[in-house]
């Protein structure tokens, strides 16, 4: 009715209530909006703890996120990076990317730490090395269209963008589901697989 997209409404709430430069408070404020006002398809605090734990265990230097949406997952990943690490995040929708950019900067992360790339993942992935300087990713977080998971994993393999021992974390593989991705990951003999059980966000 207002003509303002809900993603933009969420950002306006962040501007009014979040502490600039405090990524944890930005995430908490985001959670408050999603619990009390409107649902957004962000990672959320429950699955967020899984992401945080894996980042702490792996301490990756180069992280790739496929599916920026409003920047919640990006801030979650960025706050868990070791010093000097870099995060590349790929957003397909320019309108969502515009919101995400403001959320990321509000949380205190500059372009040296987080690079936001706008475009379809199947076009961006082949350009990551030459155009964006990502030689190999130590940690990949997939949270975009589920039908793209397998295609994009195989693109990363084809372009040799996965470091040896890299972690690939994919959200919502059971529901709404990415069965072809899951089958490939379990049967291709390139990966050791673990399913983390969690509830849907919010």
Selected catalytic residue, list 138, 171, 190, 194: 171
Q: What is the CATH number of the domain that holds 166?
A: 3.40.50.150
Burial level of 68, CB count in 10 A (0-12/13-18/19+)?
buried
Structure confidence at residue 3 (pLDDT): 85
Is residue 51 included in any domain, yes or no?
A: yes
User: Is 171 considered catalytic here?
Assistant: yes
Whether residue 196 is contained in a domain is answered as: no
Could you say which of 136, 172, 186, 194 is catalytic? 172
Give the number of domains in the chain. 1
- Residue 68's closest CA among 176, 175, 141? 141
In a domain, 61, yes or no: yes
**Is residue 1 in some structural domain?**
no
Give pLDDT tens digits for 75-128.
Answer: 999 999 999 999 999 999 999 999 999 999 999 999 999 999 999 999 999 999
Radius of gyration of the chain measured on its C-alpha atoms: 16
- Determine, yes or no, domain membership for 132: yes
Whether 201 maps to a domain, the answer reads no
Catalytic residue status for 146: yes
Q: Is residue 172 annotated as part of the catalytic site, yes or no?
A: yes
Spatial strand order in the sheet of 162-170:
114-118, 86-91, 62-66, 137-142, 162-170
Instruction: Examine residue 170 and state whether it is found in any structural domain, yes or no.
Output: yes
Tens of pLDDT along 18-60? 999 999 999 999 999 999 999 999 999 999 999 999 999 999 9
Which domain does 149 fall in, by range? 6-188
Residue 13 in any domain: the answer is yes
Per the CB < 8 A criterion, the answer to whether 101 and 75 are in contact is no
Q: Does the annotation mark 157 as catalytic?
A: no
CB atoms near residue 121 (< 10 Å)? 22
């Amino acid at each position: 009715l207002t003509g303002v997209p809900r993603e933009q409404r969420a950002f306006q709430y962040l501007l009014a209530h979040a502490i600039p430069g405090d990524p944890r408070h930005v995430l908490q404020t985001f959670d408050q909006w999603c619990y009390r006002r409107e649902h957004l398809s962000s990672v959320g605090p429950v699955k967020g703890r899984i992401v945080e734990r894996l980042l702490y265990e792996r301490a990756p230097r180069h992280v790739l996120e496929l599916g920026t949406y409003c920047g919640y997952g990006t801030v979650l990943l960025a706050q868990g990076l070791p010093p000097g690490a870099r995060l590349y995040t790929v957003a397909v929708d320019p309108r969502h990317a515009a919101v995400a950019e403001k959320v990321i900067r509000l949380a205190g992360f500059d372009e040296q730490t987080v690079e936001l790339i706008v475009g379809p993942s199947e076009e961006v992935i082949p350009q990551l090395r030459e155009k964006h300087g990502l030689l190999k990713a130590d940690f990949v977080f997939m949270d975009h269209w589920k039908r793209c998971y397998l295609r994009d994993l195989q693109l990363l393999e084809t372009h040799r963008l996965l470091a040896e021992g890299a972690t690939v974390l994919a959200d919502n593989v059971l529901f709404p589901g990415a069965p072809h991705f899951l089958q490939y990951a379990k049967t291709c003999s390139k990966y050791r697989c673990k399913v983390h059980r969690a509830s849907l966000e919010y």
